[in-house]
Amino acid sequence: MNAAVPYQTVVTPASPRIMAERPMKITARGVDVYYGDKHAINQLSIDIPDRAVSAFIGPSGCGKSTFLRAINRMNDTIPSCRVTGDIVIDGEDIYDSKLDVVQLRARVGMVFQKPNPFPKAIYENVAYGPRIHGMAKNKAELDVIVEQSLRKAGLWEEVKDRLAHPGTGLSGGQQQRLCIARAIAVNPEVILMDEPCSALDPIATAKIEELIDELRQNYCIVIVTHSMQQAARVSQLTAFFHLGTLVEYGDTDEMFTAPQEKRTQDYITGRFG
Amino acid sequence: MTELRESLIRKRYAAERRFRIYGASALVLTAVFLALLLASIVWQAVPAFTEKSVILDVVIDPAEADPANPAAGNYDGMVKAALKQVLPDAKSRAERKALNGLLSSGAGDELRRLVIADPALIGQTVTLPVLLSADATLYLKGLQTRVAVSAGASPVTLAPAEGGEGFVLSGPGVSSKPGLSPGQIVMSGSAALRITAIESGTASAEALTPIDASLSALTPGNWKTLSFSAPEADRRTSDLQATWLEQLKDAGRIETGFAWRFFTAGDSREPELAGIRGALVGSLLTVAVALALALPLGVAAAIYLEQFAPKNRLTDLIEVNINNLAAVPSIIFGLLGLAVFLNFFGMPRSAPVVGGLVLALLVLPTIIIASRAALKAVPPSITEAALGVGASHQQAVFHHVLPLALPGIMTGTILGLARAFGETAPLLMIGMVAFIADVPHGFTDAATVLPVQVFLWSDLPELAFKNKTAAAIIVLLGVLFILNAAAIYLRRRFERRW
């Protein structure tokens, strides 16, 4: 499609069917990310819809995690990292100097590759976010938020009797669901997931995928994954990244059955990556 | 080919065996030296933990003590009179001085305390233990000279020497084993004679105490001899004083007690009265000031450098210099304290507050380095998790990273404090090396610290201070041991591994 300019990918029109059903949540235009001298993302533009799961796939080092972390400005913590271009969430430029990055991260929650619960009680893990944002006026309200978040993360039944136990004592899959509950607790609009199942066994993975599918009803979810099966199972849209560029972006079903780009096809069929 | 291989294998085994032997012998050698060191200190220190008193029946003379003002009474005089009651032989001025020399110069203090607490005692007779002088105590502990007491097994006749002073001893007791030899003291009751010469079965002797004219025969079981390993000229307790002490011992008046005084008294010129309380309190005050300054400053510096400071040449320079500061000889910090705190700011000399300031500078780099290491050890995933739910960087640090780093910070701080506690050199420079008898009551009172007290006592010529030095070292080592144990406990108890 844009073969003449291989590293100059324009916005790839995603499946009109999905785009028509849902409003756009995140819009990126001409985003470049540099780590020092390294050019990690090259002129990336993408539209991500609300209430859908968008999966980023691609070989290691292709920039998919970097772009994910650009969406909630987590890259700010890396001193050498520089981001140019526009990323707009609900019409608001998130790289605007007037924007409060802390508020942004409350709106755009994140779940990490390795489950990283705070070494505190399960309750405290979930309650921390609402507490620092003043979302609960009293303990009773906080209790409600904690319970609802844990229910949404499908963890409530398993931990309701041991909320005071440390979150680090849970199994890997439970820890990751606790991290999801922690992210949900601050009532975000977007949830970014950076390979959330790569440290989990297949059963825990299945549970998380089930959970992602439920959360899709209420949130805009962006997931980075190395597993193409996972992308095919949980996402409605898939973006294929290669060497810092967005190669192809579209309806997941179409992407896996009839990719338009040769590189996408080669990757999906396991010819490289 | 195989031969070469086998010889290589043999060599490898031999090298490994040799290495194990080197390691084990190094360990054994170290352990032996450590054990020797500790054993010698403990051996020296043990006598300092006991004190000897003589039990006296003291008449509290109403002429010497006023019930209205009991503190001003002449209690030393009463105690001395009571001793004279027991040992009435001292007649001449020199002898009386020798007798009084058996008692500590603080001998009347206990009596004064009793009377102040209960003035009704005035006019009564009180039986109480009275502290002996350091020399008498050393003699009784056998530290001044070894004393061999042997009971006389054979009869001896005693007669005044012809035409002169002294006495002549004859009979089987003189020559038959164990026999007598010059320098020995023959005692019978309160009578004591010193043998001056032995000649063909008879011994010449001079009287140490008045000899009753009726005493002419010493029957077995009725007399004994004292022989000393050190001649009279080489010890501070004279033969006469030794006989008195033996008499008191025979009368059951010598009492041995635990020297609580060592922990409750300040420093003194008299070894038997000297204690470490002043130095211990001085150490605590000094270290408290050092902790109060160094902990917040050090932790704040570490948090800033580790979490917030931009990484540039300036922070690199600061980092390198903090590490260098940890290696600066401690006496340099003392010079700095002298120049800045005393001379420039005019702060009081010998005061714990200045000592604390100097020690704070000394341990600051240690605390910063330990705290940075502890902060660095908290995995970044915790910070990311906090940032991910919308915590600010500062909230992430103070809510999550710092609490997790705290055990490491506390461990480093305690080890820094242990170093401060044992530090001598910088405190010498700011005048904490003075002789201070009072226990300090505040941060600006003149004070000294435990290691400096050890240094001061080790310098004194009195034999008894040698034991005090060792005992103070034991207390110092004990405190350091407790601090290190606390650090290890904290590390074991709260350390978290990822």
Q: Which of A32, A100, A36, A102 has the alpha carbon at shortest distance from A67?
A: A32
A117 Cβ under 8 Å from any chain B Cβ: yes
Q: Would you say B38 and B249 are in contact if contact means Cβ atoms under 8 Å apart?
A: no
**Structure-token pair, residue B72:** 């001003």
Asked if A183 lies within 8 A of B389 by C-beta distance, the reply is yes
Work out the percent of chain B whose per-residue pLDDT is above 90.
56
Q: In sequence order, what are the beta bridge partners of B59? A: B125
Q: How many Å from the N-terminal Cα to the C-terminal Cα in chain A?
A: 22
The stretch A135-141 carries a mean pLDDT of 91
Asked if A110 lies within 8 A of B404 by C-beta distance, the reply is no
Residues in chain A: 273
Q: Distance between CA atoms of B478 and A183, rounded to whole angstroms?
A: 51
Q: Distance between CA atoms of A88 and A108, rounded to whole angstroms?
A: 12
Q: Would you say A189 and A105 are in contact if contact means Cβ atoms under 8 Å apart?
A: no
Instruction: Please state, rounded to an integer, the average pLDDT across all residues of chain B.
Output: 90
Q: Which of A88, A41, A39 has the alpha carbon at shortest distance from A67?
A: A41
Q: Would you say A222 and A193 are in contact if contact means Cβ atoms under 8 Å apart?
A: yes
Contact list, B386 vs chain A (CB under 8 Å): 118, 128
Q: Would you say A14 and A237 are in contact if contact means Cβ atoms under 8 Å apart?
A: yes
Q: What DSSP line would sit under A115-133, residue for residue?
A: ----SSBHHHHHHHHHHHT
Determine the distance from the C-alpha atom of residue B426 to the mean position of all C-alpha atoms in its chain, rounded to a whole number.
21
> pTM of the full predicted structure?
0.82
Taking only the tens place, the pLDDT of each residue in B53-90 is: 999 999 988 888 888 888 888 899 999 999 998 888 88
The stretch B336-365 carries a mean pLDDT of 93
Q: Distance between CA atoms of B187 and B177, rounded to whole angstroms?
A: 17
pLDDT recorded at residue B83: 92
Determine the distance from the C-alpha atom of residue A158 to the mean position of all C-alpha atoms in its chain, rounded to a whole number.
25
Contact list, A74 vs chain B (CB under 8 Å): 384, 387-388
Q: Which of B352, B361, B353 has the alpha carbon at shortest distance from B448?
A: B352
Asked if B385 lies within 8 A of A105 by C-beta distance, the reply is no
Instruction: Please state, rounded to an integer, the average pLDDT across all residues of chain A.
Output: 87
Asked if B389 lies within 8 A of A118 by C-beta distance, the reply is no
Work out the percent of chain B whose per-residue pLDDT is above 70.
99
Q: Distance between CA atoms of A159 and A170, rounded to whole angstroms?
A: 9
A129 Cβ under 8 Å from any chain B Cβ: yes
Asked if B381 lies within 8 A of A116 by C-beta distance, the reply is yes
A&B contacts, CB < 8 Å = 65
3-state secondary structure of A166: strand
Please report which confidence band the pLDDT of residue B404 belongs to, taking 50, 70 and 90 as the band edges.
very high
Query: For B452-482, b where at least 16 C-beta lie within 10 A, e where not — what string?
Result: bbbbbbeeeebbbbbbbbbbbbbbbeebbee
**Which chain A residues in 160-179 lie under 8 Å from chain B, judged by CB atoms?**
179
Asked if A77 lies within 8 A of B387 by C-beta distance, the reply is yes
Q: Is A76 exposed, middle or buried (0-12, 13-18, 19+ CB in 10 A)?
A: middle
Q: Distance between CA atoms of A64 and A225, rounded to whole angstroms?
A: 9
Q: Would you say A87 and A27 are in contact if contact means Cβ atoms under 8 Å apart?
A: yes
A119 Cβ under 8 Å from any chain B Cβ: yes
Please report which confidence band the pLDDT of residue A2 belongs to, taking 50, 70 and 90 as the band edges.
very low
Q: Distance between CA atoms of A2 and B358, rounded to whole angstroms?
A: 71
Q: How does strand B224-228 pair with strand A24-35?
A: unpaired
Q: Give the CA diameter of chain A.
A: 61
Q: How far is CA A193 from CA A130, A176, A232, B87, in A?
A: 20, 11, 16, 96
Spatial neighbors of B49 by CB under 8 A, at least 6 apart, are B258, B259, B262, B471
Q: Which of A100, A105, A125, A182 is the best mutation test for B, with the most CBs of B within 10 A?
A: A105
Q: Distance between CA atoms of A121 and A167, rounded to whole angstroms?
A: 5
Nearest to B391 among A110, A117, A132 (CB): A132
The pLDDT of residue A6 is above 60: no
Asked if A112 lies within 8 A of B385 by C-beta distance, the reply is yes
Taking only the tens place, the pLDDT of each residue in A232-255 is: 999 999 999 998 888 888 889 888
The stretch B155-183 carries a mean pLDDT of 80
Nearest chain A alpha carbon to B399: A128
pLDDT recorded at residue B468: 93
Which CATH architecture best describes the domain B273-494?
A: Orthogonal Bundle (1.10)
Asked if B389 lies within 8 A of A116 by C-beta distance, the reply is no
Q: Which of A224-233, B67-76, B313-322 has the lowest mean pLDDT?
A: B67-76
- The CA-CA-CA angle for residues B28, B30, B32, to 5°, reads 70
Q: How far is CA B152 from CA B198, B230, B443, B454, in A?
A: 17, 21, 62, 45
The pLDDT of residue B421 is above 60: yes
Nearest to B385 among A72, A102, A116 (CB): A116
The stretch A217-228 carries a mean pLDDT of 92
Taking only the tens place, the pLDDT of each residue in B189-207 is: 888 888 888 887 788 888 8
Nearest to A182 among B310, B389, B395 (CB): B389
**Structure-token pair, residue B127:** 């039986």
Nearest to B385 among A72, A79, A118 (CB): A118
Q: Which CATH code is given to the segment(s) B147-228?
A: 2.40.30
Q: Give the CA diameter of chain B.
A: 113
Taking only the tens place, the pLDDT of each residue in B134-166 is: 999 999 998 888 888 888 878 888 888 877 778
Work out the percent of chain A whose per-residue pLDDT is above 70.
92
Contact list, A117 vs chain B (CB under 8 Å): 385
Q: To the nearest whole angstrom, how far is the Cα of A110 from the nearest Cα of chain B? A: 5
Q: To the nearest whole angstrom, how far is the Cα of A17 from the nearest Cα of chain B? A: 32
A62 Cβ under 8 Å from any chain B Cβ: no
Q: Distance between CA atoms of A222 and B422, rounded to whole angstroms?
A: 59
Q: Distance between CA atoms of B388 and B62, rounded to whole angstroms?
A: 85
Asked if B391 lies within 8 A of A109 by C-beta distance, the reply is no
Residue type, A239: A
A154 Cβ under 8 Å from any chain B Cβ: no
3-state secondary structure of A31: strand
The pLDDT of residue B121 is above 80: yes
Taking only the tens place, the pLDDT of each residue in B382-399 is: 999 999 998 999 999 999
pLDDT recorded at residue B1: 67
Q: Which of A181-185, B98-102, B120-124, B177-181 has the lowest mean pLDDT?
A: B177-181
Q: To the nearest whole angstrom, how far is the Cα of B315 from the nearest Cα of chain A? A: 14
pLDDT recorded at residue A3: 37
- The CA-CA-CA angle for residues A196, A202, A205, to 5°, reads 30
Q: Which of B138, B48, B88 has the alpha carbon at shortest distance from B251?
A: B88
Taking only the tens place, the pLDDT of each residue in B267-293 is: 999 999 999 999 999 999 999 999 999
Q: What are the residue ranges of helices labelled H in B236-379?
A: 239-250, 261-264, 277-303, 313-325, 330-336, 352-377
**Structure-token pair, residue B218:** 């010493």
Q: How many Å from the N-terminal Cα to the C-terminal Cα in chain B?
A: 49
Spatial neighbors of B427 by CB under 8 A, at least 6 apart, are B286, B334, B355, B358, B359, B433, B448, B449, B451, B452
Domain boundaries, chain B: 48-140, 147-228, 273-494
The stretch A253-259 carries a mean pLDDT of 88
The stretch A37-45 carries a mean pLDDT of 89
Asked if B391 lies within 8 A of A119 by C-beta distance, the reply is no
A79 Cβ under 8 Å from any chain B Cβ: yes
Nearest to B395 among A109, A116, A132 (CB): A132
pLDDT recorded at residue A1: 36
Q: How far is CA A209 from CA A141, A171, A189, A212, A229, in A?
A: 29, 17, 19, 5, 11
Domains of chain A as residue ranges with CATH? 16-268 (3.40.50.300)
3-state secondary structure of A43: strand
Residue type, A150: L
Please report which confidence band the pLDDT of residue B498 belongs to, taking 50, 70 and 90 as the band edges.
low
Q: Distance between CA atoms of B132 and B50, rounded to whole angstroms?
A: 12
pLDDT recorded at residue B497: 61
